[in-house]
Amino acid sequence: MASGPRKKPRAAAAPTAAKNRAELVVAPAPKAIATPSESAQRYETVALVLQGGGALGSYQCGVYEGLHEAGIRPNWFAGISIGAINAALLAGNAPEQRVERLRAFWERVSVPALPLAQAALDLQRQWLDALPWRNKLLAYADSQGALAALLFGQSGFFVPRVPPPLPFVSNGASATSYYDTAPLKTTLEQLVDFDRINARSHAGRSRSSFRPRMFAAAKR
């Protein structure tokens, strides 16, 4: 049986240009992470609260130096005990002077209140560094330093009262402690601008909060 003419197969449709080329999908750019300094600038108040703890105050200096290098400038300082002293050094100086004044304070009060104490400490450090059993001797030297502070006080910080307070005999302020902190008052007056602290209500000035008794003897 004769069949009709075969239909010519239809040619496949040419692929579109969109299918021929690789489509590039661009993901949205991630948001830039704000630096610590940029994050701090979002707040009207950036507070630094410093606790007490004696030698812990020297670590607080390192913390503030790290904040300073990161561009973070606190404008409110609060502290108690040794933290109040550091807070006064910070609030009582311009931002560009704070690290320098903190270092000056701690280098001064870390020396026993004895004649030629700094020269003796430098000589001791050189002697210890030259010995092979340095670590064991360093522990001994630290204990001797603590004993010297107990007996003679610390330069620019405190000295023993002479004579020491005696029960039922001494009267007045001298009866309240075995040490006199008059050297600390002198040190702070040299390193802290108390007029700057008292003018904290002025625009651009740092605000501060201290434990009142800490600076009762240092107020003008």
pLDDT 10s digits, 141-199: 777 778 888 888 899 999 998 888 877 666 776 777 889 999 999 999 999 999 988 88
What 8-state DSSP symbol labels residue 159? E
Distance of CA 68 to the CA centre of its chain: 8
Report how far residue 86's alpha carbon sits from residue 98's, in angstroms, rounded to the nearest whole number.
10
Q: How many CA atoms lie within 13 Å of 58's alpha carbon, on the beta-carbon side? A: 8
Rounded Cα distance between 146 and 164, Å, is 19
Q: What is the pLDDT of residue 166?
A: 76
Q: Which two tokens stand for residue 138?
A: 């360093």
Q: Reply yes or no on whether the pLDDT at 210 is more than 60.
A: no
Residue 212 has pLDDT above 90, yes or no: no
What pLDDT is recorded for position 219?
33
% of the chain at pLDDT higher than 90: 37
pLDDT greater than 90 at residue 94: yes
User: Per-residue pLDDT averaged across 78-103, rounded?
Assistant: 95
Residue 89 token pair: 């050094």
d(CA 17, CA 74): 60
Give the 3-state secondary structure of residue 49.
Answer: strand
Q: Taking the complete model, does pTM exceed 0.75, yes or no?
A: no
- Give CA–CA dist 55/76, Å, rounded: 23
**Confidence class for position 77, pLDDT limits 50, 70, 90:** very high
Quickly state the pLDDT bin for 55 (edges 50, 70, 90): confident
Q: Which residues contact 78 (CB under 8 A, 6 or more apart)?
A: 47, 48, 49, 50, 87, 208, 209, 210
